[in-house]
Structure 1
Amino acid sequence: MDLLSRIAEVIVPVFLIVGIGYGYARKHPPDLAGFNRIALDVLAPVLVYSALASKDFRLADHLPLLLGGTILILGSGLLAWPLARALRVSPRTLVPVVMFNNCGNMGLPLALLAFGAEHFGAAVALFAISNLLHFSIGARLTSRAARTRELLLSPVMVATALGFASALIDIRPPDLILSGMQLLGDSMLPMMLFALGVRLTSLTRAGVALGFVGALARPLIGLAIGLPLAWALGLEGAAKGQLLLFAALPPAVIQFMLAERYRQEPDKVAAMILVGNALAIVFVPLALALGL
């Protein structure tokens, strides 16, 4: 009973905010273009840097977890490739959807609620590693025309590099400045969940059947890799829980932006992402039950 109560304490606030976003958008569809631009250019970089530069974050303590996250992303891609061939779906459409999860919109708030502020830096580090791979390997998988250099010089990637540098050399901004940055970055978490709820209003009946392919493959392949990987790396406690939660998260919303930019069947990608995020209500509690 205690475990069920703990899981409820984590997922209910998250899905409540998603539900509010969904309900609001059904009556008053908002234009998220401005928020997306602010989130990518300001809020996400500040969130990433302030978490990685925090005194509570020690990079050496989280290297096994970050290694596990990297292996999980690359391993998911390797398993997704033959699946795409078997299902006669373009690998450029399916593989990035299975590889990259929604560790920003959904993963960060869940990690904060499940494992506490003292372990939040590790979740942000996983988010940073995922973004680094997504904007390099993931972009090239989506399209040969992807300009990796342009993506890697984005504000989020620059903030990631500076954040890891601060953690390595132990040079940080004064506490007064860092506190302000953390306050600004933290404001992104509920807004990301609200925006996710807004996006779910775009899901159509026609897209549901198609969307189940990537929606199910993402968490199932992730957990199939994540469970033995956590054991192999000797992860315990919060580190094990973070890896399993990371493994079970739905497809990354940002993959739709890449698919749309490079015209790689964005309608199919959107269906898989939306169904996958709706099904998170099943897979997230499962991951928390395994990891808590």
Structure 2
Amino acid sequence: MEHVFLNVLNIVLPVLICAGVGYGLAVARAPFDNKVIGGIVSKVGYPTLIISHLSATKIQIATFLDMMAAAALAIAAFGVLGFLALRLLRWPVRAFLTPLMHGNVGNIGLPITLLALGDAGMAYTMAFVVVVLVSIFTVGMWIPAGEFSARKLATSPIIYAVIIALTLMATGSTLPQPIAKSFDILGGLSIPLMLLTLGHTLATLRTGSLGRAVILTGLHLVLAAGIATTLVWLFGFTGVERGALILCCLMPSSVATYLFIDQHVPEYGPEVAGYIMVSTLTTILVLPLALAYWI
């Protein structure tokens, strides 16, 4: 048992240390522009990471597409069940549904699955990340804003990176070596920058009452366990893909969703920030248990 938890600690601790450095930068008031770094990651880091990693990793494209389908179903399930729960609790859907639907699979999910499941695990998590990112920057914005924008979807670099990566995977082609090396370098920026940003953002969030945060965190974990179990059975996932799906479903609320809530329903911003904080801290306790006993 001690050996199991030591292995789990070796997986989780590097992620916490990197996020802790970002937290320390915020406490020290060091210059750190979240918007600039977020733009670099979303417009350069993520697309190049997707292309370079997926084109170099030997995984079945059919299973990768199955994981994308499972991710879409997971988000839809979180959305439908979250909507019903929020209506039952009589809490504002515009404020809390987006953060309840979207997990932090980028900042936490990618490094955790890379350390726990290797390159293949990270590749399958990429499928989840792609779907979550597209959902965050479309549905995730539309719910709090109360409006639809197809332009955001059509101009997302993530979409075109996925198309290129899937084409390379399907044809067995590779990028020219100079481009592949460049994408490796640029994509390698993503995970450390995401972890630094996570820690910095958590240190600077303006949190409110934590009562709703605790209830939402508990609700999310219950939904995550049920949705992950159902999808694993539905798709027949085993091994690495099973582990990646479970970890992705367990991820805490995405920090990116806070920006939309703060912009469109700012009166609930502090409570959403509290939920993000509590769910992130709770995940630190839940992940070792999941890695030791479920995956």
User: For residue 147 of structure 1, what is the aligned residue in structure 2?
Assistant: 149
Structure 2 SS opposite 1:56: coil
Partner residue, 2:286: 283
Aligned to 1:218: 220
CA distance in 2: counterparts of 1:260 and 1:165, whole angstroms: 38
CA offsets 1:164-215 (integer angstroms, 9 cap, x no match): 2332343431234213312221221022111111111134563433322333
Q: Name the SS of the counterpart of 2:45 in structure 1.
A: helix
Q: 1:233 and 1:118 mapped to 2: Cα distance?
A: 18
Report the residue type matching 2:235 in the other structure.
L
- Quote the sequence identity (%): 25
Q: Go from structure 1 to structure 2 and tell me whether the alpha carbon gap of 1:155 and 1:266 turns closer, same or farther (over 3 Å shift).
A: farther
Name the SS of the counterpart of 2:107 in structure 1.
coil
Report the Cα offset of residue 221 of structure 1. Answer: 1.0
Residue in structure 2 matching 1:272, options 256, 271, 275: 275
Q: Aligned letter for 1:285?
A: P
Q: Give the 5 Å matches for 1:152-231.
A: 152-203=154-205, 206-231=208-233
Q: Contact conserved, 2:75 with 2:101, CA < 8 A, in 1?
A: yes
**Matched ranges for 1:123-138 at <5 A:** 123-138=125-140
Cα displacement (A) at 1:45: 1.6
Letter in 1 for 2:281: A
Using the TM superposition, give the Cα deviation of residue 134 of structure 1 relative to its aligned residue in structure 2, in angstroms: 2.8
Cα distance in 1 for partners of 2:233, 2:293 equals 12
Deviates further, 137-146 or 240-249: 137-146
The 1:148–1:208 alpha-carbon spacing in structure 2 relative to 1, beyond 3 Å, is farther
Q: Which residues in structure 2 correspond to 1:1-292 (within 5 Å)?
A: 1=1, 2-29=3-30, 30-203=32-205, 206-263=208-265, 265-292=268-295
Residue 223 of structure 1 aligns with an amino acid whose one-letter code is A
> Is contact 1:132–1:152 with CA below 8 Å preserved after alignment?
no
The structural deviation recorded for 1:10 is: 0.9
The answer to whether the 8 A contact 1:21-1:194 is kept is: yes
Query: In structure 2, do the counterparts of structure 1 residues 268 and 158 end up closer, same or farther at CA, with 3 Å as the change threshold?
Result: farther
Counterpart Cα distance in 2 of 1:78 and 1:26:
38
Q: 1:98 touches 1:214 (CA, 8 Å); kept in 2?
A: yes
1:245–1:291 Cα contact (<8 Å) kept: no
Greater mean deviation of Cα atoms: 254-263 or 186-195:
254-263
CA distance in 2, matches of 1:250, 1:290: 19
Cα-Cα RMSD: 2.2
Please, which runs of 5 or more residues in structure 2 have no aligned partner? none
Give the partner amino acid of 1:190: P
One-letter code aligned to 2:239? G
Amino acid of the structure 1 residue aligned with 2:172: D
The separation in 2 between residues aligned to 1:25 and 1:14, in whole angstroms, is 17
d(CA) in 2 for partners of 1:157, 1:66 = 13
Kindly state the Cα deviation for residue 281 of structure 1 after the two structures are TM-superposed: 0.7
Q: Secondary structure at the match of 2:210?
A: helix
Mind listing any 5+ residue stretches in structure 1 that lack a counterpart? none
1:93: how far off?
1.8
State which drifts further: 141-150 or 92-101: 141-150
Note if contact 1:101-1:218 (Cα within 8 Å) is conserved in structure 2.
Answer: no
In structure 2, distance between residues paired with 1:49 and 1:260:
32
